[in-house]
Amino acid sequence: MTKTLSSKELTLLDAYWRAANYLSVGQIYLYDNPLLKKQLTKEHIKPRLLGHWGTTPGLNFIYAHLNRVIKAHDLDMLYITGPGHGGPGLVANAYLEGTYSEVYPNVSQDEDGMKRLFTQFSFPGGIPSHVAPETPGSIHEGGELGYAISHAYGAAFDNPDLVVACVIGDGEAETGPLATSWHSNKFLNPVTDGVVLPILHLNGYKIANPCVLARISHEELDHLFRGYGYTPHFVEGHEPEKMHEQMATTLDTVVREIQSVKELEELVLKELRRDFSPEFINRIDETIVFHKLTKEEILSIVELMMRRLREQMTTHEVTIELTDEAKELLVEKGYDPAMGARPLRRAIQRHIEDPLADFVLGAELTPGSTIMVDRAGDEEVKITIIPGEEREPVAVPAGDASEPEGSIDEPSDPSDD
């Protein structure tokens, strides 16, 4: 399998990340002995610690990988961080890149400058523990939890070439302003505005308490953000080498998706300009492009429609199970590149619902029965009724039943939505 990162890229990314982590730890803990040339003693440690180490490695990890995609794809990008007290990470990266020393020459890139960098952090006469205004490039006050996405979208509006990577802390995600601001994507125009790439940092804790979004299942989290209008990608693990590869692959995928949307929107706008007047185009609020459904997406619709049928059959105390082969047959029968998922409604009715209706009307289903649906040849399915202990399994051919006007409490068709 081809890897996204070469061995050299992996080594450089990991080295940069570890260097940023060390500079971050030094700011939080060290008062002296910045390069640990001497044996570490109590006198080298700050008497009062501020700044959260928990969020900092993730911020540094994301920063390093965003630098890679900026160079690889020639991106114009901003990095906004929402987690509170993540200042050590952003200051560390600004120092590591040389920007901090350019703005503050007294914090030089040598041992004396590193000591000053460490001692000034969250210390009287120094700098705050969050991304304060004096941090080079800061446009977002990191200590104010809840406004990261709002600021990200504000930066993206009317900047069509800009990508704003916005890290949201999982504790911050529970604030009212942040929870509301997910809907800012409703106001974004892909042609005239930039793109916001939210990165939800689920390390699991807010100070010392668990976070809701870090505790719910992947499925629930995925559904939540798809409902908001986002396409979730999960990057998780604890082994650095695997995480670097996973993050690099995911970011490359996301950047390609962003570029694809931008190119498509520009193509649509070009076609509109060719056929319609500027006055008409100015009155267009939103352009929606429909893509052809893939067979994988049809399979997801099969799962959804069968879930509804299972719920209906629970009133008869009957369960339904489909083999993978049966699902594949329904996909084949229900997939049409031009019609989308519309034929699927008829395929499920003909092969499954109509025979089930006959069983229900004929009182052939007893409480506790299980209906097994499998594939029988190239064109049909086989339905097997597994009743209680009083009868042997009965195999019933499907697909030959007459097609009545309707079927069992026919559910709405999700393909029509």
pLDDT of 142? 61
Helices 56-73/87-97 angle, 10° precision = 40
What CA–CA distance (Å, rounded) separates 306 from 321? Answer: 9
Q: Is the pLDDT of residue 399 over 70?
A: no
Q: Is the pLDDT of residue 2 over 60?
A: yes
Question: When comparing pLDDT for 80 and 54, which is higher?
Answer: 80
Residues 149, 181 contacting (CB under 8 angstroms): yes
pLDDT band for position 190 (cuts 50, 70, 90): confident
The region of weakest confidence among 13-27, 173-187, 265-279 is 265-279
What CA–CA distance (Å, rounded) separates 193 from 172? Answer: 26
- Give, in degrees to the nearest 5, the angle at Cα 14 between 145 and 18: 60
Partnered with residue 395 across adjacent β-strands are 384
pLDDT of 398? 53
pLDDT band for position 59 (cuts 50, 70, 90): very high
pLDDT of 388? 60
What CA–CA distance (Å, rounded) separates 61 from 17? Answer: 6
pLDDT of 347? 85
Residue with tokens 């049928």: 309
Question: pTM here?
Answer: 0.70
Question: H helices within 30-128, ranges in order?
Answer: 56-73, 87-97, 99-103, 111-120
Question: When comparing pLDDT for 64 and 129, which is higher?
Answer: 64
What value does the mean pLDDT of the chain take? 85
Q: Is the pLDDT of residue 134 over 50?
A: yes
The shares of helix, strand and coil residues in the chain, as percent rounded to the nearest 5, are 50, 15, 40
337: how many CB neighbours lie within 10 A of its CB? 9
Tokens linked to 209: 């308490």
The region of weakest confidence among 113-122, 206-215, 248-257 is 206-215
Question: When comparing pLDDT for 403 and 258, which is higher?
Answer: 258
What CA–CA distance (Å, rounded) separates 18 from 313? Answer: 56
298: how many CB neighbours lie within 10 A of its CB? 22
Q: Is the pLDDT of residue 106 over 60?
A: yes
The region of weakest confidence among 32-36, 130-134, 181-185, 217-221 is 130-134
